[in-house]
Amino acid sequence: SAVISQKPSRDICQRGTSLTIQCQVDSQVTMMFWYRQQPGQSLTLIATANQGSEATYESGFVIDKFPISRPNLTFSTLTVSNMSPEDSSIYLCSVEEWQGIYGYTFGSGTRLTVV
């Protein structure tokens, strides 16, 4: 399956600042996905990132808060802007790949704490 490198693995940030998370895949993929996992909860899709077009955001997530770049088929970034403590969460990137059926592989996640 695809190998996804995500960094940073963790960070502690001051409120009001921004953090950019990087996701690198070892193969070309059409779609990349960004998820958030808040403490004690399951994963929620933030947006879908396609190369060459604007990301598609899910309800409750906006581009100004979570700008996404997708410059090529192996790389994407998610920025968490103007952070507040409520943004403390794990952020994960994911790709879809064929595993006998289309399945989804996740990066190891970025554990963000906003103080």
Partner 1 sequence: RKEVEQDPGPFNVPEGATVAFNCTYSNSASQSFFWYRQDCRKEPKLLMSVYSSGNEDGRFTAQLNRASQYISLLIRDSKLSDSATYLCVVNPSHLPNKLVFGAGTILRVKS
Enumerate binding residues for partner 1 (CB under 8 A). 31, 33, 41-45, 48, 56, 58, 92, 96, 99-109, 111
Smallest separation (angstroms) from partner 1 to the CB of 88? 15
Smallest separation (angstroms) from partner 1 to the CB of 35? 8
Rg for the chain, CA atoms, rounded? 13
Between 13 and 31, whose beta carbon lies closer to partner 1? 31
Smallest separation (angstroms) from partner 1 to the CB of 110? 10
Structure tokens at 56: 């598609």
What number of residues does the chain have? Answer: 115
Cα(2)–Cα(115) distance, integer angstroms: 34
Contacts of 61 (CB under 8 A, 6+ apart): 46, 47
Between 73 and 81, whose beta carbon lies closer to partner 1? 73
Smallest separation (angstroms) from partner 1 to the CB of 43? 4
Kindly state the DSSP code that residue 115 receives in the 8-state scheme. -
Kindly state the DSSP code that residue 33 receives in the 8-state scheme. E
Between 51 and 81, whose beta carbon lies closer to partner 1? 51
Between 31 and 81, whose beta carbon lies closer to partner 1? 31
Cα(82)–Cα(15) distance, integer angstroms: 7
